[in-house]
Each structure stands twice: as structure tokens, then as C-alpha cells.
A and B are shown apart, each in its own frame.
Chain A
Amino acid sequence: MSALKYTKDHEVLKVDGDTAWVGITEYAQDALGDLVFIELPEVGRQVSKGDYFAVVESVKAASEIYTPVAGEIIEVNTALESDYDLIKQPIDKGWVIKIKITDTAVLNELMDQAAYDAYLKQVA
């Protein structure tokens, strides 16, 4: 089990070599509430660092999910389309996309669990 990485926009990444599963953190899931729509990207799309690749819509708001790393989307969790609540599961089940990372050095800029927990205390 590889370590999880976190972003300031509340995405979570599970990294394995040069691929990563990207989802949203528990904090983001709580803040959004119940989802009513998910717009997923197509497999094969090239994304740059900071691009949004999916839109999650709750009764409160529509929010974009951003990728903190550049690369190619190699798999999309289409099970989310029929079961929005799946996104609330841990990353192994609740992932949104699987991405092949162009430059893994960028991962060093992301937060680990401890840093993210500290960040949450700051923003909450």
C-alpha cells in the first residue's frame, strides 16, 4: 500500500509508480453533501497540472475536481455514474480517474497525511 498524497483543493491521490488514482478527500465529501450528478472525462485525455477533469454537483453547488499532476487519463471509474455515493468510499473504491503521470517529481509538492491534517485545522 503506497502512501496517500493530498492537495489544497482536497483531492487525494494514491500513487503506484508513475500511475495515480485520484479522488476527493473525506473533507470534500462532507462539504459537498449528497451528490446529484457527476461529469466524468474520457479515457485517453491528456491533462496538464491544475486542469479540472471532472465536475461533481450536489444540491448546494457544482465543483470541479482538479489534477495536481500532468499526464494521461488511462481509466475512469464509470461505476460512479450509477452510484454517486461510491465517491464517499476510500480511494480504492471511490477513485474518479486513474492517471499516468508525466513527471512524478511534481508529487513531492503535494501534502502527506500529516501535512493535510494540519492544513485542514487551518482552513476549518
Chain B
Amino acid sequence: MMDAIGSQRALNYDVKLLWEYPQADAPAVDFEEPSSFKNRTGQSVRETIGLAQLKEPTVVRHFVRLSTKNYGIDNGFFPLGSCTMKHNPRLNEKTARMAGFAHIHPEQPVETVQGALALMYDLQKTLGEVTGLPAVSLAPAAGAHGELAGMMVIRRAHEAAGNTHKTVVLCPDSAHGTNPATAVTCGYTVRTIDTKGTGRLTVEAFKEALGDGKDVAGMMVTNPNTCGLFEREILEIVDLLHKAGGYFYCDGANFNALVGSIRPGDFGVDVMHLNLHKTFSTPHGGGGPGCGPICVTNELAAFLPVPHVVKQDDETYALERHRDTSLGRMKGFHGQFGMVVRAMTYILSHGADGLKQVSQDAVLSANYILSQLKSLYHVPYEGPCMHECLLTDKRQKEKGVTTLDIAKGLVEYGIHPMTVYFPLTASGAMLIEPTETESKEEIDRFIAIMKMFAQKVEAGDTDIFHEWPVSAPRRRLDEVKAAREPKLKYAK
């Protein structure tokens, strides 16, 4: 009797695996009779490959129910540090679906897609202006792909100059993991700049990593850095780097803090990637393909990937498909054009003053959270912060509550946890990035929950921290068991 009733209550749906639903005797989709695979009597050869056979309503309900178990920026607060989980304005979607953008083909003659090329050209120009790095390629398909393209540009530049002795790239110990990974992928070895004591780059630590600088090809730095702090000594450091013949690669992951206030080209950046899905509001991850343009100085423009949109003397647009000095092609056709439309829509609908307001609001939100929580949580590096703030579990850990427990508590209260245990330089890190999207009410709820957590720990009321989340469909997961004995396939 109870089996027939199942575990579904109200909107908490019971979702089975596809094979566990009643199987239909015919598929929901009609396939044509295969013309090949006939036996000698002319009959079709049929063998089952074991796919589930389900009716259409069963399939629809299965996936709709699964989708209700998802959490994203459209559901609620998502303060995942370093990821800039901001709202994706629906206006972006409207323009991206305009027939002139959505229904064109990449192999169409360029004369018939002048509007699309004009838009790409305008985005190249605009990104060049906001970064102060005038040469722009829209080709890379994501942030890490942009990093790769950017470091390949640097490598090409060194090769062109015959600098084969430059084999080392400097990265701070707080860097995004992709930075050293990119450097190694490009054939460099990584030397680490120590920032543990300060949370920031210092001229002193930089000099130690630089040595005589002869072998240094470049430096990869995120500014503001992964602790949410602006690199105050960057001008002096970049000066030393440039004197040693190295290029400055800036990871643009945290550009949402700077747009409209500072142009990275003005603090010495030579190459930078931008994550359109962070700073310029195109969808993250499963929401759509990514786009990670790179912006470089005029000196490095010759090495950018192709194709590249150029404006000709007669005011028409053309695609530069080949350049001898180019590092080549990074992506099929012209990159993720739909993302270009969305980002340009975002930029035009905000205007120069609006973009500046966005980054200032993002910085204000993060500092508001920091100011409200700093008396209850350990702050490893003194603020003010930029667009994200860094706390640790140092005080709570003494009572047996760790960053992981706090993150699970946020799941219980319907908030996506902040980034945890990153950057690696701060033990038990909690990196909180509210973005400009959230209202004061939403941020105040987060602050109230975090304060309540700290007070519970202070009072010794810690048992529940090891139970959370208790309201989630699957409650607390055993992460160690999941990693030690992963079940990677469903055994029927």
C-alpha cells in the first residue's frame, strides 16, 4: 500500500531513474524504418540497446520535475565568489533572438551579414575602450580558453623576438588554478609569488620570484585578486616586470569590480581576457555557450587569433581570415556570436555611466556584507574589499564548526553557498560575491543567517551544523564516500 503511494509530498516530487518508470511498449518518438541493416530475407534487423521506452508525458514530467530540483541565479541569491553570478537581463535574450542575428549562417557571404559584423566590430571597439587595450579578439569560447589564447599571444611575441630563453611565468599563490595550468599548457614553468602574509602582491615578494628576470616570459595576475583586494603595488611591480622583458597577463575574472573606474591598460596590462558571462551578463555554464574575448596592446595585435572583424575604408565590414603573424584559429567560424549580441545589448542598455554604477554597486554590496560580518567571522586580510569579501572559519573551527558546515547551513536556508576553501592561501576560506544584482533585503537576509550561525556556534549549539541541510531532498551527502566509491553508471 505504502509502495503505491510513494514519497511524493506537495511539491517535493519523487523522481525516478528513466528505467524505473513503467516502460511503454512503443517509444514516444517514431523513427523511420532503417534502410540498411536488413537481413537476407529483407527484414529489418532489430536489436535493443537498452534505452528506456517511455511515453511522452512521462518524459516531460521527468525532466520538468528534475528542473524543479535545480538552483540557479533565477531561483535565488548566489554569492559564489570569483564567479560573478549576476542577473542575465531578459533584454539580452530578446535581441539575441532577433531574426537578423539568430537565423544567419556563418558561411553566408559577408555582404549579407554586415549588421552582424558591425555588432562584432562595435563590441571589439567597446571592450578595447573599457580595458584600455585596443586590440580585441572575440574568438575564445570561454574564460580559460581566453587565458590560453592570451598566453599563446605572449608566447608568439617572445618567439617572434627570439626570446627562447624566457621559459618561466610568475603566478601568485592565490591565483585561480587555471592560471598556472594555462602557463604549463603553453610550455612554461611556473614560479610562485608568495602572498600568504599580506593577501596582496608586494614588491619585495615579486622581486624574489623575479630574480634577475632573464628567464621570465610574463606574469599572470588577477586584479582585484582572489582575496577580493586591489593590488596596490601593481604599478611598481609591472614596471619591474616590463624592464625584465616580461608581459603582464591580467586574468579578467574579477573585472566586474573595475568597469568604468579603471582601465587595466593603464596599470600596465599587456593581455587580458574577459568573461562575458561574468562581467557582461551572458548566461553561465549550462545557460549557454561561453565567450572569453582577449584584449591586448597594439604592440601585440599582430599575434591575435583569426578571424577578426575589420572596418574597411568604404565603411563596410570584412573578416580578416588569415594573418601570417597570427597564432591561428581558436574556434570554429566566428566564436560564440549569440554571446556577443547579449554582451553588446548589456553594454548599450547600461551606457558608460550605467556600467560604472554596476561595478560600484557590486563593490558596495560586498563591503556592506564585510562590515556586517567582520565582528563575527575572522577576516584574514583587512578591507575595504572590492567586489567580493573573504572570511574564514578560524573562530568557528575552535568549536568544531567548519566552512563546509556553514556552506551546508546556507543550503538549508535556501541560499547557494559562497565559494569555499578558495583561495588556498587562507585556511577555511569563504569568498562571498553578492554582485550588484541583489537588493538590500536579500543581502540582509544572508547577513542575518550568517550572524545567526555565528551566534549559534558561540553559544555551543553546534550539533545541527553537522546535520544540515535537513530540508533538502537528499539531506547531507557523504562527500568522502561519494569520492571514494563513485557510482559512474547505472547498473540495471
Contacts and interface: CB of A to CB of B under 8 A. Distances in A.
Contact of A36 (B421, B424, B484): B484
A31 B424 CA distance: 11
Contacts of A60: 421
B483 A59 contact: yes
B427 A61 contact: no
Given A60-B421, A61-B421, A36 B483 contact: yes
Given A60-B421, A61-B421, A36 B427 contact: no
A36 B484 CA distance: 5
A34 interface: yes
A116 interface: no
A59 B408 CA distance: 15
B441 interface: no
Interface in A36-85: 36-37, 57, 59-61, 84
Interface residues of A, number: 9
Contacts of B424: 61
B427 A59 contact: no
Contacts of B479: 59
A59 B484 CA distance: 10
A22 B52 CA distance: 52
Interface residues of B, number: 7
A112 to B, nearest CB: 24
Contact of A31 (B427, B480, B483, B484): B427
Contacts of B483: 36-37, 57, 59
Main secondary structure of the interface of B (DSSP, over half): helix
A61 B424 CA distance: 9
Nearest to A31: B427
Nearest to A59: B479
Interface string B417-456: 0000100100100000000000000000000000000000
Contacts of A31: 427
Nearest to B196: A123
Nearest to B427: A31
Nearest to B483: A36
Given A59-B479, A60-B421, A61-B421, A84 B427 contact: no
B427 A34 contact: no
B421 A84 contact: no
Interface in B450-492: 479-480, 483-484
Interface in A7-41: 31, 34, 36-37
A36 B483 CA distance: 6
B480 A34 contact: yes
Nearest to A62: B177
B147 to A, nearest CB: 20
Nearest to B485: A36
A37 B479 CA distance: 13
A48 to B, nearest CB: 14
Contacts of A37: 483-484
A34 B427 CA distance: 16
A87 to B, nearest CB: 14
Interface string B81-119: 000000000000000000000000000000000000000
A57 B479 CA distance: 13
Nearest to A123: B196
A105 to B, nearest CB: 25
A31 B421 CA distance: 11
Contacts of A36: 480, 483-484
Looking at A31, A60, A84, the one whose CB has the most chain B CB atoms below 10 A away is: A60
Interface string B399-429: 0000000000000000000000100100100
B190 to A, nearest CB: 13
B491 to A, nearest CB: 22
Nearest to A84: B484
Interface in B352-384: none
A60 B429 CA distance: 11
Nearest to A124: B427
Given A36-B484, A37-B483, A61-B421, 12 more contacts: A31-B427, A34-B480, A36-B480, A36-B483, A37-B484, A57-B483, A59-B479, A59-B480, A59-B483, A60-B421, A61-B424, A84-B484
15 contacts: A31-B427, A34-B480, A36-B480, A36-B483, A36-B484, A37-B483, A37-B484, A57-B483, A59-B479, A59-B480, A59-B483, A60-B421, A61-B421, A61-B424, A84-B484
The 9 closest A-B CB pairs, nearest first, are: A36-B483, A34-B480, A59-B479, A60-B421, A36-B484, A59-B483, A59-B480, A36-B480, A61-B421
